Amino acid sequence: MNELNRKGGVAAPDFTHQPDAGGHFGRYGGRFVAETLMAPLAELTEAYERYLKDPEFLAELDDDLRQFVGRPSPLYYARGWSERLGGARIYLKREDLNHTGAHKINNTVGQALLARRMGKRRVIAETGAGQHGVATATVAARFGMECVVYMGAEDIQRQAINVYRMKLLGAQVVPVEAGSRTLKDALNEAMRDWVTRIDDTFYIIGTAAGPHPYPAMVRDFQAIIGREARVQILEQAGRLPDALVACVGGGSNAIGLFYPFLADESVQMYGVEAAGEGLTTGHHAAPLCTGRPGVLHGNRTYLMTDDDGQIVETHSVSAGLDYPGVGPEHAWLKDVGRVQYDAIDDKEALEAFHDLTRNEGIMPALESSHALAYAAKLARKMTPDQIIVVSLSGRGDKDIHTVAAIDGIKI
Amino acid sequence: MSRIEGRFESLREQGRKALIPFLTAGDPEPGMTVALMHTMVEAGADVIELGIPFSDPMAEGPVIQRACERALRHHIGLADVFAMVREFRKRDAETPVVLMGYLNPLEIMGYERFARAAAEAGADGVITVDLPPEEGEDYVAALRASGLDPIFLLAPTSPDERIERVAASASGFVYYVSLKGVTGAGHLDVDAVAKRLDQIRGHCTLPLAVGFGIRDAESAARLSRLADGVVVGSRLVQVAADHESQPDEIGPEIARVLREMRSAMDAGAN
């Protein structure tokens, strides 16, 4: 599609044929795991590549996305909010309306179908805010699979409601006491479980990171977001958008939105990381903005790491962005200049949360609020004939205790 | 011939197997590490594995995870690890030292700089748990240029083509992970290990050391009959954890455990 896409005589990167056979996006990605996992990852790659071309698998996936998840999700023109901002027209891709309330289910449905075909009866997952844990527990309940979710002990305190939802769905939630007791430690522990029970277990990674094939596989399952949005904006506005905006933790909703537009040169893309208390304070979760390349969790990517190579603790008001790494395709898209990455701090995200809730009657997740805050800034610099599509990756119900506590209100 | 190759060759001539204890650098106190290394040698160690602490040790069970946390409370980094090896070398020019850790600290330092500094300090080989040979071309080149042995892992899940790949990239010895799991796991199956080692020997002429799940003299002796060496990690690190408040006991207790293993292994060899 894009092989001959040339700019000023220099071949533009071929966005549609990434990664290479070893899972590399440029110098990023790859497969950096202990030997025990190498053969199982090769087996998973083979299965994923085979089933992604299998009409029967694709038909079943499509049916599940329609009937179980509720796709396609609407592309909603936020007229009131756009007019108040006085700039570009903002359209919201409503992933918050999916079953379980976030984009995470697009991927867990896909991976669970793959797990079934591979004969695995047990699924495991890591979770930070609990959205991916709930989405995994949901598909496990539906397919009658055993489900174990690893969650940092710190996050279990912060996200009690999602913990209970997972338990209601029949999942076992295992608190992780190691390290910083958050998402990165949950991922370590899930890897340890997987290496111990490879024979009967499928590890459903929730973001577009980890060893190959996960970054590509999660992207492919999430690309439904961008494929739908592309068709919908052409229907509704008669043209492609000028800009796409999505929040980036590991980056699965962002890559899902961006990927089908990568070859559309007129479309600018913005990935928004969590600036936490501010990029200069060190208390943030913005590896693309402030970090450097390193290796963690099976892939080479931008990381928050100190001079000794230890992983630095992160901070964000939104647990789903509280992660020191990022998917390797984002690292590559940053380096080749196709996507711009910037950051929004806790305060700006909370303002956007309230703003959208009061002006559009839509309560966004705190993760998505980072994208909304950035889109609002961007829109003000643009004109009403221009269009921004924002990934509204999840709904905010899970965050009302956090917001209330910050606003000094006891529920 | 590298110090590691020389050590395996002289053991072979004596009809003995290598006892390879592991400790995490800086655990429980940075000041104790070099003395513990000497203690291990006096108790019968043939090669020392010195762990580089890492914040996210994905392949470790809880015992070595905690050791990393204890060491990182003292901010032990690569420069400290090199200093410990240099100090150890002042009194011991014979015993090979293998550094074992995760890739990110090496990435941040740079492979060439790391390899030069490690070799200058007196280290002999490096095991990087999360680096398979497929991703390790530059790393292997950097280690070899500094005269270090790149040691790779094989696992119960490794098919023949991966065994060949590892054999082609590694030198010194190959580390066979005895079970599907993390360090310190408790489900070692000696018969399964025996079968796998036979299979590996069909593709690999390097000495084979077996690690993961070796916790007493009996399991050390049984595995030493099958392999060229046994690696003992969590069992020894647990001693440091148990005696954090009586650090004087750690050395004698580690020596006791290793002597038992040594004599059981040597008895088994005769």
Question: Which has more pLDDT, A275 or B183?
Answer: A275
CB count within 10 Å of CB B219 equals 20
Is the whole-model pTM more than 0.90?
yes
pLDDT of the residue at B1: 83
pLDDT in tens, A301-314: 999 999 999 999 99
Q: At what angle do helices B111-121 and B137-145 cross, to 10 degrees?
A: 30
pLDDT of the residue at A11: 58
Q: Which residues are registered as beta bridge partners of A391?
A: A93
| Separation of alpha carbons A4 and B98, rounded Å | 49
| Separation of alpha carbons A213 and A329, rounded Å | 12
Q: What phi, psi does B246 have (nearest 5°)?
A: -125, 70
Minimum Cα–Cα distance from B59: chain A residue? A192
Residue A12 DSSP symbol: P
Please answer whether residues A134 and A200 qualify as being in contact, where contact means their C-beta atoms are separated by less than 8 angstroms: no
Three-state secondary structure call for residue A395 = strand
pLDDT confidence tier of residue A6, bands split at 50, 70 and 90: very low
AA letter at B188: L
Answer whether B223 touches A (CB < 8 Å): no
Of A129, A80, A73, A88, nearest to A270 (Cα)?
A: A88
Helices assigned H by DSSP within A241-300: 252-258, 287-290
- Asked if A294 lies within 8 A of B182 by C-beta distance, the reply is no
| Separation of alpha carbons A295 and A298, rounded Å | 7
- Asked if A178 lies within 8 A of B155 by C-beta distance, the reply is no
B55, B69, B162, B199: which to substitute to probe chain A, counting the most A Cβ within 10 Å?
B55
Q: What phi, psi does B186 have (nearest 5°)?
A: -115, 25
Answer whether A191 touches B (CB < 8 Å): yes
Please answer whether residues B129 and A37 qualify as being in contact, where contact means their C-beta atoms are separated by less than 8 angstroms: no
Selecting from B154, B158, B185 the residue whose C-beta is nearest the C-beta of A196 gives B185
Answer whether B58 touches A (CB < 8 Å): yes
Question: What domain range is B61 assigned to?
Answer: 3-269
**Span A112-123, average pLDDT:** 97
pLDDT in tens, A27-50: 999 999 999 999 999 999 999 999
- Asked if A179 lies within 8 A of B69 by C-beta distance, the reply is yes
Structure tokens belonging to residue B255: 């020596």
pLDDT of the residue at A129: 84
Q: What string of pLDDT tens digits covers the 270 residues of chain B?
A: 899 999 999 999 999 999 999 999 999 999 999 999 999 999 999 999 999 999 999 999 999 999 999 999 999 999 999 999 999 999 999 999 999 999 999 999 999 999 999 999 999 999 999 999 999 999 999 999 999 999 999 999 999 999 999 999 999 999 999 999 999 888 889 999 999 999 999 999 999 999 998 999 999 999 999 999 999 999 999 999 999 899 999 999 999 999 999 999 999 664
Please answer whether residues B44 and B261 qualify as being in contact, where contact means their C-beta atoms are separated by less than 8 angstroms: yes
pLDDT in tens, A328-341: 999 999 999 999 99
Three-state secondary structure call for residue A146 = strand
Q: Report CA-CA distances (Å) from A15 to A209, A263, A265, A391, B135.
A: 17, 7, 11, 20, 23
pLDDT of the residue at B95: 98
Structure tokens belonging to residue B172: 């010194």
pLDDT of the residue at A7: 41
pLDDT of the residue at A13: 74
- Percent share of chain A, pLDDT over 90: 91
Residue A13 DSSP symbol: P
**Span A346-357, average pLDDT:** 98
Query: Which strand (E) or helix (H) includes residue A153?
Result: helix A153-158
In the block, which residue shows the tokens 């459903």?
A204
**Span A346-359, average pLDDT:** 97
3-state per-residue secondary structure call for A299-361: EEEEECECCCCCECCCCCCCHHHCCCCCCHHHHHHHHHCCCEEEEEEHHHHHHHHHHHHHHHC
- Asked if A33 lies within 8 A of B130 by C-beta distance, the reply is yes
3-state per-residue secondary structure call for A60-103: HHHHHHHHHHCCCCCEEECHHHHHHHCCCEEEEEEHHHCHHHEC
pLDDT of the residue at B42: 98
Q: What phi, psi does A59 have (nearest 5°)?
A: -65, -40
pLDDT in tens, A182-215: 899 999 999 999 999 999 999 999 999 999 999 9
Structure tokens belonging to residue B33: 């590490």
Q: Residue B38 maps to which CATH number?
A: 3.20.20.70
pLDDT confidence tier of residue A8, bands split at 50, 70 and 90: very low
- Percent share of chain A, pLDDT over 70: 97
Of A201, A191, A184, A306, nearest to B60 (Cα)?
A: A191
Q: How many domains does chain B have?
A: 1
Answer whether B74 touches A (CB < 8 Å): no
Rg of chain B on CA atoms, in Å: 17
- How far away is chain B from the Cα of A213, in angstroms, using its nearest Cα? 15
Answer whether B142 touches A (CB < 8 Å): no
AA letter at A402: T
Answer whether A36 touches B (CB < 8 Å): yes
**Span A164-171, average pLDDT:** 97
- How far away is chain B from the Cα of A22, in angstroms, using its nearest Cα? 9
Selecting from A192, A300, A303 the residue whose C-beta is nearest the C-beta of B182 gives A192
Q: What ipTM goes with this model? A: 0.96
Cα atoms found within 13 Å of the Cα of residue A66, Cβ hemisphere only? 6
Minimum Cα–Cα distance from B54: chain A residue? A310
CB count within 10 Å of CB A59 equals 10
The DSSP string of chain B is: --HHHHHHHHHHHHT--EEEEEEETTSS-GGGHHHHHHHHHHTT-SSEEEEPP-S--TT--HHHHHHHHHHHHTT--HHHHHHHHHHHHHH-SSS-EEEEE-HHHHHHH-HHHHHHHHHHHT--EEEETT--GGG-HHHHHHHHHTTPEEE-EE-TT--HHHHHHHHHH--S-EEEE-SSS-TT-S---HHHHHHHHHHHHTT--S-EEEESS--SHHHHHHHHHHSSEEEE-HHHHHHHHHTTT-GGGHHHHHHHHHHHHHHHHHHHH-
In the block, which residue shows the tokens 């299965």?
A47
Could you list the active site residues of A?
Answer: 104, 126, 393
Q: What phi, psi does A332 have (nearest 5°)?
A: -70, -45
Please answer whether residues B260 and B217 qualify as being in contact, where contact means their C-beta atoms are separated by less than 8 angstroms: yes
